[in-house]
Amino acid sequence: MALLHFLKPANALEAGGRDHLPVQSDAMEPELTCPECRRSTPVSRLQSRYMVCPCGYHFRMNARQRIRMAVDAGTFREAFADIVGNNPLAFPGYPEKLETARAASRENEAVICGTGKIGGHPCALFFMEPGFMMGSMGTAVGERITRTFELAYEKGLPVVGFTVSGGARMQEGLLSLMQMAKVSAAVRRHADAGLLYIAVLTDPTTGGVTASFAMEADITLAEPGATIGFAGKRIVEQTTGKRLPKGFQKAETVEEEGFIDRIVSRQQLKTTLVMLLAMHPAGGERT
Amino acid sequence: MNRIVGGAYAAVEAARSSSRPTALDYISNVFTSFIELHGDRRGGDDPSLVGGLALLDGCPVTVLAIEKGHTARQRQARNFGSVHPEGYRKALRLMRQAQKFARPVVCLVDTAGAGCGLADEQHGIGQAIAENLTELAGLSVPVISVIIGEGGSGGALGLALADQVWILEGAYYSVISPEGCAQILWKDPAKASEAAACLHLTARDALDLGVADRIIPETDFGKKPFYDSLREALSEEIQNLRKEPGLSDKRYARFRRF
Ligand SMILES: [Zn+2]
């Protein structure tokens, strides 16, 4: 049943961004080549298995695909979609970048928020969008996520959030940096009300998002193989002055280091979320 | 235009100068009876984050300060003010202690950015900053952060989710280094001065954006009158904040407006 709702949106970026553009096979059906096992798989087949290669490699997914994967069919109500970024610092070239991102992702900002049910449990939800400037966080993203936590606080709901981000959006300067503080304060208020926050870290979750709400959840899940870190690899390599160890900033390594509760494959994700939500009866303990 | 471009980057270069007073200079001149407290109680002690107790005009406060050092050897030992996860966790421990004893917190911020070495990633630098943000958001004691030199991105913010954020006239505060921004935008770190102008990172910009509440003039910079007037300002503001109920709600509102 869930698979039937897992339909392909008309969006070239959904298949994982620039790295893995579909290639045409003889049968004219678009295929994706797995960077792990080099096998090519028809996109339609991948879609029926949550964009996971038979070898287990997780291709990138866009936010709408995740909503279909995680949220009970027909229950998602998008909210705060009218909050969009402008160009507060008159940063050169930024309006054009926003235009391109909007055209490429068919979203108006880098996160989709709302409410919905997961296994019948009402939740406040956010899904970051890799096709929109790689999920970078500016004022609109910060405001939407803050409002999601505020809504959850008012209604006594858990928050389930999917992160994917290159970090703070530099074109909005200090205002982007302030989003880390703003969202963190909202997370704290929600937490103090005894409410549950589950973060699902997907590829890549880095920079200011890692240094704020991605790492502030009660339960932190991650997708297999996801890059999770703060500084970019290049910078760490320069600072360290030697080659980085195998598996650096990979979810599996970050779990070993103690910063992730659990790595969950997409096939297991919804079941896991439902189990966790069921163990946290609504309301929590208000302080 | 060129003058403005030069202006922002010149400010960054001046803020980086090793001849500027560092956190320890402020600690010894603004406060009295400073007692340094070491360690994160998790297995480390980071010299780039100096924490401890001190008297401010006779009142006990918790001081959390990023120290860069002056000489090459000092700067090396302090990791050039790039704080490791252990440093943020030491700060976290001392924030909780401040809360327990209803003691105001004064943060002195001076960092190009958080530590970005291999061990920093392995020890969860992002998580360490994130935890400080949620901790600071919930404190019911007054928190004042003063950006005394470099206010580099998340590494600075990890000590600057405060009731009052002040910035020295010649300091800067930015989401990314101008060089990093130039590299990402134009694949050319040499365009850092253009990037600096675009980022709106000077003290004046921070004030105009409402990110900073006050600019601290650098009159008699590094001399007794400078420190005396900073002490007076801090002391007065702490008195004011102490009278206000619901500080964490007000702090919430302060950051909510962005
Ligand atoms: Zn594969």
Question: Which ipTM was obtained for this model?
Answer: 0.96
Q: Which residues contact B168 (CB under 8 A, 6 or more apart)?
A: B146, B147, B148, B149, B203, B215, B216, B218
pLDDT > 90? residue A26? no
Exposure string of B162-178, with b = 16+ CB inside 10 Å and e = fewer, is bbbbbbbebbbbbbbbb
- Which residue of chain B comes nearest to A179, CA vs CA? B258
Tell me what percent of chain A is helix, strand and coil, each rounded to the nearest 5: 40, 20, 40
Contacts of B200 in chain A (CB under 8 A): 89, 173-174
Contact list, A191 vs chain B (CB under 8 Å): 134
The CA-based dihedral angle spanning residues A143, A148, A152, A155, taken in that order and rounded to the nearest 10 degrees: 90
Q: What is the pLDDT of residue A21?
A: 53
Contact A155, A125 (CB under 8 A): no
Task: Kindly provide the residue ranges of all beta strands, DSSP E only, lying in A22-67, ordered along the sequence.
Answer: 23-24, 30-33, 40-42
Q: Is the pLDDT of residue A7 over 80?
A: no
pLDDT digits (tens, 9 = 90+) for B160-169: 999 999 999 9
Read off the pLDDT band of A88 (50, 70, 90). Answer: very high
Read off the pLDDT of residues A145-167 as tens digits, 9 standing for 90 and up: 999 999 999 999 999 999 999 99
Mark the ranges of chain B whose per-residue pLDDT is less than 70: 1-6
Least confident of A120-129, A232-241, B116-125: A232-241
What is the Å distance from ligand 1's center to A22 Cα?
14
For residue A205, give the nearest of A169, A236, A242, A166 by alpha carbon.
A166
The pLDDT of residue A3 is 37
- Residue B134 to residue A229, Cβ atoms within 8 A: no
Q: Establish if B157 touches chain A: CB-CB under 8 angstroms.
A: yes
CB contact under 8 A, A177 and B175: yes
User: Which pLDDT does position A27 carry in this prediction?
Assistant: 58
Contact between A127 and A209 (Cβ < 8 Å): no
The pLDDT assigned to A280 comes to 96
Rounded CA gap, B45 and B7, in Å?
38
Q: Is the pLDDT of residue A11 over 50?
A: no
Q: Report CA B168 to chain centroid distance, whole Å.
A: 11
Domains in chain B: boundaries? 8-257
The whole-number pLDDT of residue A283 equals 56
| Structural fold of domain B8-257 | 2-enoyl-CoA Hydratase; Chain A, domain 1 (3.90.226)
Question: What pLDDT, on the 0 to 100 scale, is given for residue A281?
Answer: 87
Dihedral through CA B222, CA B223, CA B226, CA B232, nearest 10?
120
Higher pLDDT, A1 or A62: A62
pLDDT band at A2 (very low <50, low <70, confident <90, very high): very low
Output the six-digit token pair for A160.
């389930």
CA B64 to chain A, closest CA, distance in angstroms equals: 18
CATH number of A61-286: 3.90.226.10
| Buried b or exposed e, range B11-24, using 16+ CB within 10 angstroms | bbebbbeeebbbbb
A with B: how many residue pairs have Cβ under 8 Å apart? 159
Residues 6+ apart with CB under 8 A from B228: none
The pLDDT of residue A242 is 87
Per-domain residue ranges of chain A: 61-286
pTM equals 0.93
For chain B positions 106-135, those within 8 Å of chain A (CB to CB) are 114, 116-118, 120-127, 129-131, 133-134
- Any bridge partners for residue B171, and if so which? none
Does A204 sit behind a cis peptide bond, omega within 30 degrees of 0 on the bond before it?
yes
Q: How confident is the model at residue A85 (pLDDT cuts 50, 70, 90)?
A: confident
Intra-chain end-to-end CA distance of chain B, in Å: 28
Sheet holding A111-118, edge to edge: A77-79, A111-118, A121-128, A159-165, A197-205, A219-222, A262-263
